[in-house]
């Protein structure tokens, strides 16, 4: 399950980065902000999984 969560985190980060990049390219500030938010959510999920890994080992 942890691997699944790590994958979700990476996917969220990538999706957020893409939205941010597209938002900047077309000048859509809302899409840029949404992309940043998704990246942050992915970062938080990844940090949570790393913390869980530390306590497992």
User: From CA 36, how far away is CA 47, in angstroms rounded?
Assistant: 16
User: From CA 24, how far away is CA 40, in angstroms rounded?
Assistant: 17
Q: Does the pLDDT at position 54 exceed 90?
A: no
pLDDT of residue 56: 81
Structure tokens at 48: 């949570």
Q: Does the pLDDT at position 1 exceed 70?
A: no
**Higher per-residue pLDDT: 53 or 3:** 53
Instruction: Read off the pLDDT of residues 10-53 as tens digits, 9 standing for 90 and up.
Output: 999 999 999 999 999 999 999 999 999 999 999 999 999 889 88
> Residue 17: enclosing H or E segment and its boundaries?
helix 2-26
Q: Which residue is associated with the tokens 């969560």?
A: 5
pTM for this entry: 0.80
User: From CA 29, how far away is CA 19, in angstroms rounded?
Assistant: 10
pLDDT of residue 6: 86
């Amino acid at each position: 399950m942890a691997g699944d969560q790590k994958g979700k985190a990476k996917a969220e980060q990538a999706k957020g980065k893409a939205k941010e990049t597209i938002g900047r390219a077309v000048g859509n500030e809302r899409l840029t902000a949404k992309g940043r938010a998704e990246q942050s959510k992915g970062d938080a999920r990844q940090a949570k999984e790393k913390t869980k890994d530390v306590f497992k080992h």
